[in-house]
Chain A
Amino acid sequence: MNISRRWIEGFLRQPIDPVDAAARLGMLGAPVDAIEAVGAELAPFVVGLVTEVRPHPSADKLQVTTVDDGSGESFQVVCGAPNVAAGTKYPFARLGTTMPGGMVIERRKLRGEVSEGMLCSARELGLGDDHDGILALDTDAAPGTGMLEVLGLGDHMLVVDVTPNRPDLFGHKGVARELAIAYGIPFRLPDVANLADVDLPTPTRYADEAVVGGVRLAITDRAGCGRFLAATIRGVSVGPSPEWLVERLKAVGMRAINNVVDVTNYLMLELNQPMHAYDAATIAGPAVIVRAARPGEPLTTLDGVSRTLSEGTLVIADAERVIGIAGVMGGAATEVTDTTRDIFLECAWFEPLRVRAARRSVNLSTDASQRFERGTDRWGAVDAFRRAIRMLIGVAGGTLDGNAVDCFPAPSHAPRIFLRPSRIAQVLGIELKWTEIERCLVAIGATVVSKPEDGRIAVDVPGWRPDITSEIDLVEEVARIHGYDNIPTELRPFRPAARRDDAAWTMMEQLRTGAASLGLSEVMTLPMVTTTSDTAPRILNPLSADHGRLREAILPALVRQVETNCHAMTRDVRLFEIGTVFTRAGAGERPTETTNLAFAVTGARHPAHWSRGGEVADWDGWDARWLFERLLALAHPGAVVQVGGGHWLALGTEGGTVGWCGALEADTPPWAGAVFGGEISADPSTRAAVRFEPLPHHPAVTRDLALLLGVDRHATEILALLAQRGARFALEHSTVVDEYRGQGLPDGKRSVAYRLTFRALDRTLTDTEVDQATARLVQMLERELDVTLRTS
């Protein structure tokens, strides 16, 4: 909401500093996003008094003047205007002033005479088209006074961020009320120059039907329209608004249209009550009916767009057709134009949900719909309406045809709420005196109707605060006006909740630390992706086709980031991400959500070091496998790595695949290294508790074996069998230490060297024992896995 400083000053009857006012509004819950100076282009101009005028020695049309600009010095200024006269004040541009057109005033010679500044015309200041001569000022202001001050044009626009619960702040009156609270001063409606002093009886009250100035008014959709005030004003002359009204609207960024429309806009901005003026001559019937639209009814709105209304939209209609969307926008056919003589003025209360529905159905948000949607003051509408009639007649002339009417189908009062001071203490944690509570409530415009009785007070809520519907709303208002700053900040004892951290969080934190300790850098990519997979859940209203589905896997995004790094000429990339992945469950069902860990590496496996001449090998599959196993141990304990489909696969304890790792395809330049990566679905549930194992007291003995394996025999099969059967031979551990392929081996064989570590817990093994055990194990391997001991 744009708020004019001068408008507010009209309410407060005193000047305010816009920066200070903004800070105070913020502390009351209405933060100011920006403060813009209005008329700033006039700021450098000052009042200049011409003390002397003499003819230019060498130019007939020019004169040489002496100007007093209040600085104590006098300046010689050459002037071409015929109306320049000694003893008169004019707008003066000192040396260095930038004109609205961008020209900078400099010291120069005009036909041989020095000129030190410029006396300005209205047009030169951007104040109008009058270029008959320089602008003679009829002012008492001393030379040197700023032109903004003299013309009364300077203003500030405060852009107030209005929260959805505060419709009253969409009017200057609401903001003025807040500032009156902040400054502790009274406020009342500003004086308006053109307020007609007409005899204006209270509008005649009707239920849902009335006649006003020959126009029949009917509310047939009573749920949609709670109140409708109307007047017929005849004999108006539509034309430009007076200057002050134009300036008021301009100061908050609204364009002046004509005096009738400007008055309705003025009142909307002042009192948060949108109104609409119809050209009465264009209303068929003449009748104005508030009803629900029938299917497919057409309307061309004021913005010139032809619209087809959906059934049930709350509309204003005449005897023949729809002439406006209630609370959103009027129709072009009944628009007030320069030739309009008679006006039908509407000031209504529409049901917020109906206006919201209409606004959405025609996809048209307006100043009016914004206000009706949040709730206008149905009880305060009368005052706004009467002010509107007075202003309208004041600026456009005309007379009321008959008394104004007030259709109020179900008359009501603003709600009454009971407030317990004990509840204030329970929620705010402070005991407030009754007088302070009353001060706070009165400040927001509430009426406190009784002293505390039975521990509670009755409060009549102001009509402009539809957000206040229950006691807690009043508690908040008391806290707000009392000031959050005045509530103490003291740590009081609390009960900690005996609740364990979610295991998934603990696991994710361990994974982050673990992955980072392996040299990987964490990224957080968007979970919305583009994919051809049909099992990825689809978003109904995506930002773009690129973000049309939820990710089923993280790794593709990491590969894209590897490629992006290559574009930045970064060759060494090590990334990981931990996040949620989604799998479609079925139409209308919640997708399955899993926490995944993905990683991708490329480039050098270590930073280069001078001890190796700067040479470093690139990451290879064996490095990737190690990363995979380390991360698997953290993310999915108990899972084992197997080979399948050209990758390493992780099999979970339940048997399913819980991760994979391998070489990745990436669109990288020739200088880039191979890319490896993997993805693991993390499982927070399977974390076995660590149990201490006693440290051995006896030494271990090792034996190395070189075995000839068939090329399709996996080295791990030997390890698996040794692990399975080795215990009774005191075999503690075995590992692969070397592999050889090539000359000297039988066809179709390779040699793999194993190191076997034997240890007994209760004694030191003898060489003989270990030799015998080794021989037995070799026999077993030869028998069961078709391997032979390599002898040469």
Chain B
Amino acid sequence: MADPLGLSGLRARLAAISTLDLPALEAEEIGVLGRKQGELNARLKLLSSLPVEQRREAGAALNTLKQEFEAAFEARRTELAGTTRASRAQATDPTMPGRADWVGTRHPVSEVTAEIVEIFRGLGFSVALGPEVEDEELNFLALNFPEDHPAMDMHDTLYLDPEGSTPGAGGKLLLRTHTSPVQIRVMRSGPPPYRVVIPGTVYRNDPFDPSHAPAFTQIEGLAVDRGITFVDLKATLTHFAERFLGPDTRVRFRPSFFPFTEPSAEMDVGCLLCGGGGCGACKGTGWMEILGCGMVHEQVLRNVDLDPEEWTGWAFGMGPQRIAMLRYGLPDIRLLYGGDMRFLTQFGALTP
């Protein structure tokens, strides 16, 4: 085929475009397609010098070539742009650590306490609190601890220095040995029904050892209304255990004794460590004692001017420190009273 414009010489340059880098590509684009120095424009000018019968064919060929060049430049530019993005990404390493800030933590005991409170709030209980310094009337007598009875020995009590004063009507001032005085306060504050959950610090004259502390957290619950029975106690606390520890939690109730409840019970759950097979933590029984409970004692109801023939109720109490120890496998309660950052930051981080 005739090639009056010498277009075949440009074919090699067209093929070479796919090998050019970005500066060479830009220079070549000007060199080929440029309005002033471009090779194709120079050929276009030659077109008018051709015989008329050749012009039509040569012009079409020139136009086709131009389109081919434009497509090749475009393709190469796109290709190069992709390569550039990739190489730019290689300049930063996305596996480097992100910029951190300190992550605060809640104490395992306050975490456990809040979880328990939330479950009972969902069961229609509301939170009640009370003072940590109480008198003998509220801490013991109103709760049916007989005066000077061996039951008192269950609670080794810390008393406040009376500084020479004689005790008032409520007897000596003491650091409450349980949160139960708040039950009395709630029941004296208005008419039933009552459905309260009571978290708080309590005190005992127990020196520190791996499982005892002179001050610890307790959480109690109280439900009083007409028609409340031991069935409600068992059902509600079983439901609690399933919510708190999981739906497959095994639960059992054993008779026990507390001055302020009758009948009284301890609730055991299947050992959190061995799951029931028996291990050192559960003394081989497969069960762990988790809370004490019972029907509110008749005398306690009378002490707050409620007729036990009309009103009945149930109550429970448990120790979040003990539960935290079981849950997290803590060997010594004293860890919970320290401030070692290496310990604290293991629990309850607010970020996942």
Residues of A within 8 A of B (CB): 19, 23, 26-29, 31, 34, 163-166, 353, 356-357, 373-374, 426-430, 470, 472-473, 475-476, 479-480, 484-485, 487-492, 494-497, 499-502, 504-506, 509, 512-513, 515-528, 537-544, 547, 550, 558, 560-562, 564-565, 568, 570, 572-575, 579-580, 582, 587-588, 590-591, 593, 606-607, 609-611
B298 touches A520 (CB 8 A): no
A487 touches B230 (CB 8 A): yes
> Given A353-B148, A480-B263, 18 more contacts at CB 8 Å?
A31-B254, A163-B256, A164-B149, A484-B265, A496-B124, A496-B125, A500-B126, A501-B126, A516-B350, A526-B215, A539-B158, A540-B158, A540-B159, A540-B161, A540-B162, A543-B207, A570-B340, A609-B100
Q: Which residue of B lies closest to A605 (CB)?
A: B102
Tell me the bound Cα distance from A334 to B96 in angstroms.
88
B85 near A: Cβ within 8 Å? no
Top-10 shortest CB links A-B: A429-B229, A561-B339, A588-B165, A496-B124, A29-B255, A519-B102, A429-B231, A516-B104, A163-B257, A497-B195
Segment among B41-49, B62-70, B233-241 that sits at the interface with chain A: B233-241
A28 touches B196 (CB 8 A): no
B151 touches A502 (CB 8 A): no
B336 near A: Cβ within 8 Å? yes
Residue from B148, B162, B239, B255 within 8 A of A480 (CB atoms): B255
A610 touches B97 (CB 8 A): yes
Residues of B within 8 A of A (CB): 96-97, 99-107, 109-110, 114, 117, 121, 123-129, 131-133, 148-151, 153-154, 158-168, 173, 175, 193-196, 199, 201, 203, 205, 207, 213-215, 217, 223, 225, 228-232, 234-236, 238-239, 251-257, 262-266, 283-285, 295, 297-298, 308, 312, 336-342, 344-345, 348, 350
A contact residues around B168 at 8 Å (CB): 588
B339 touches A523 (CB 8 A): yes
**How many pairs, one residue from A and one from B, have CB atoms within 8 Å of each other in the complex?**
285
Residue from A485, A565, A588, A606 within 8 A of B252 (CB atoms): A485
Once A580-B132, A588-B166 are accepted as A-B contacts, the answer to whether A521 and B205 lie under 8 Å apart by CB is: no
Tell me the bound Cα distance from A544 to B158 in angstroms.
12
A contact residues around B148 at 8 Å (CB): 353, 356-357
B338 touches A476 (CB 8 A): no
Tell me the bound Cα distance from A473 to B225 in angstroms.
21
Once A502-B127, A524-B110, A606-B100 are accepted as A-B contacts, the answer to whether A489 and B161 lie under 8 Å apart by CB is: no
A516 touches B230 (CB 8 A): no
B contact residues around A539 at 8 Å (CB): 158-161, 175
Tell me the bound Cα distance from A631 to B168 in angstroms.
39
Chain B: minimal CB distance from A549 (Å) = 9
Chain B: minimal CB distance from A500 (Å) = 6
Tell me the bound Cα distance from A543 to B207 in angstroms.
6
Tell me the bound Cα distance from A69 to B163 in angstroms.
76
Once A484-B265, A609-B100 are accepted as A-B contacts, the answer to whether A561 and B253 lie under 8 Å apart by CB is: no
B contact residues around A27 at 8 Å (CB): 252, 254-255
A476 touches B150 (CB 8 A): no
A contact residues around B175 at 8 Å (CB): 539, 550
Report 11 cross-chain contacts, Cβ distance below 8 Å, ordered by A residue: A164-B257, A356-B150, A429-B232, A502-B127, A521-B107, A524-B110, A574-B102, A590-B131, A590-B173, A609-B97, A609-B99
B205 touches A543 (CB 8 A): yes
Tell me the bound Cα distance from A527 to B160 in angstroms.
13
B contact residues around A480 at 8 Å (CB): 255, 263
B contact residues around A356 at 8 Å (CB): 148, 150
Q: Which residue of A lies closest to B186 (CB)?
A: A499
Q: Which residue of A lies closest to B231 (CB)?
A: A429
A contact residues around B285 at 8 Å (CB): 23, 26
A contact residues around B231 at 8 Å (CB): 428-430, 487-490, 492
Q: Which secondary structure dominates chain B's binding surface?
A: mixed
Once A494-B225, A501-B127, A588-B166 are accepted as A-B contacts, the answer to whether A525 and B255 lie under 8 Å apart by CB is: no
Tell me the bound Cα distance from A27 to B154 in angstroms.
21
B contact residues around A523 at 8 Å (CB): 107, 338-339, 344
Residue from A502, A504, A512, A610 within 8 A of B110 (CB atoms): A512
A505 touches B264 (CB 8 A): no
Tell me the bound Cα distance from A427 to B298 in angstroms.
10
Chain B: minimal CB distance from A327 (Å) = 13
A373 touches B150 (CB 8 A): yes
Tell me the bound Cα distance from A537 to B133 in angstroms.
10
Tell me the bound Cα distance from A756 to B284 in angstroms.
72
Tell me the bound Cα distance from A29 to B257 in angstroms.
8
A contact residues around B195 at 8 Å (CB): 494-497, 499
B contact residues around A374 at 8 Å (CB): 150
A428 touches B229 (CB 8 A): yes
Tell me the bound Cα distance from A769 to B128 in angstroms.
57
Q: Which residue of A lies closest to B161 (CB)?
A: A538
Most chain B CB atoms below 10 A, which of A491, A579, A606: A491
A contact residues around B225 at 8 Å (CB): 494-495
Once A489-B235, A543-B205 are accepted as A-B contacts, the answer to whether A426 and B342 lie under 8 Å apart by CB is: no
B contact residues around A506 at 8 Å (CB): 127
A565 touches B295 (CB 8 A): no
A contact residues around B213 at 8 Å (CB): 526
Q: Which residue of A lies closest to B345 (CB)?
A: A521
B338 touches A541 (CB 8 A): no
B contact residues around A541 at 8 Å (CB): 158-159, 205
A contact residues around B127 at 8 Å (CB): 501-502, 505-506
B106 touches A522 (CB 8 A): yes
Chain A: minimal CB distance from B179 (Å) = 12
B101 touches A538 (CB 8 A): no
Chain A: minimal CB distance from B130 (Å) = 9
B215 touches A476 (CB 8 A): no
Tell me the bound Cα distance from A267 to B248 in angstroms.
48
A contact residues around B262 at 8 Å (CB): 472-473, 475-476
A164 touches B102 (CB 8 A): no
A509 touches B114 (CB 8 A): yes
